[in-house]
């Protein structure tokens, strides 16, 4: 398997590796995939309650180089975006950026799922209805 330079770069220098306090109300955690499938991604976001901007994003991934690169790239892209804006990221954008071959497309799907799961968790914690306008947010 030949990897694109961008995949190799993310593999060698993964961005935003780490763990956020999952009990914090500002933090949303997405854990997707399964060990049996050979891929597990955990993506975490810390959202500014006032602006709904994702100020911090961290990941840890068990998986192949493409899975690591997809999740590393996802953290780079969502940082600084509002949660609604981050939901606009599509797996196909990741495929394009990393030049993933067809057999690795599931890695990008998993990264998109991880973003959605993290945002979903944050919304649930903060009583934000799915697809509801940002103004309804209540912060404890």
Partner 1 sequence: MSTVETQVEVPAGVKLPIYMDNHATTPLDPRVLEAMMPYLTGKFGNAASRNHSFGWEAEQAVETAREQIARLIGATAKEIIFTSGATESNNLAIKGIAEMYRERGNHIITQVTEHKAVLDTCKRLEKYGYRVTYLPVKADGLIDLEDLKRAIDDKTILVTIMAANNEIGVLQPIREIGKICHEKGVIFHTDAVQIVGKVPFNVIEDNVDVASLSGHKIYGPKGVGALYVRRRNPRVQIAAQIDGGGHERGMRSGTLNVPGIVGMGMACEIARLEMDTEASYLRGLRDRLKAKLESHLDYIHINGSWEHRLPGNLNMSFVYVEGESLLMGINDVAVSSGSACTSATLEPSYVLKALGLGDDVAHSSIRFGLGRFNTQAEVDYVAEKVIQIVKHLRELSPLYEMAKEGIDLSKVEWTAH
Residues annotated as part of the active site: 37, 107
**Contact window for partner 1 (CB under 8 A) among 11-19, 82-90, 119-127, 132-140:** 11-19
Q: Which is nearer to partner 1, 60 or 81 (CB)?
A: 60
Asked if 102 is part of the footprint of partner 1 (rule: CB under 8 A), the reply reads: no
Among candidates 8, 39, 5, which has minimal Cα distance to 109?
A: 39
Instruction: Report the site for partner 1 in 16-45 (rule: CB under 8 A).
Output: 17, 19, 31-42
Tokens standing for residue 109: 């799907």
Asked if 134 is part of the footprint of partner 1 (rule: CB under 8 A), the reply reads: no
- Site size toward partner 1 (CB under 8 A) is 35
Cα–Cα distance, 53 to 70 (Å, whole number): 21
Q: Out of 12, 24, 25, 51, which residue is the one contacting partner 1 (CB under 8 A)?
A: 12
Q: State the DSSP string of 16-49.
A: SB----TTSTTEEEEEEEEGGGTEEEEEEEEE-T
């Amino acid at each position: 398997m030949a990897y694109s330079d961008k995949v190799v770069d993310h593999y060698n220098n993964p961005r935003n590796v780490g763990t956020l306090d999952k009990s914090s109300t500002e933090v949303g955690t997405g854990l997707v995939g399964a060990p049996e499938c050979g891929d597990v991604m955990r993506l975490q976001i810390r959202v500014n309650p006032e602006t709904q901007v994702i100020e911090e994003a961290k990941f840890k991934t068990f998986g192949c180089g493409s899975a690591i690169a997809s999740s590393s790239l996802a953290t780079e892209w969502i940082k600084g975006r509002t949660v609604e804006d981050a939901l606009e990221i599509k797996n196909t954008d990741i495929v394009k950026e990393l030049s993933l071959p067809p057999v690795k497309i599931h890695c990008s799907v998993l990264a998109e799922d991880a973003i959605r799961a993290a945002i979903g968790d944050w919304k649930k914690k903060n009583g934000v209805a799915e697809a509801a306008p940002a103004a309804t947010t209540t912060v404890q």
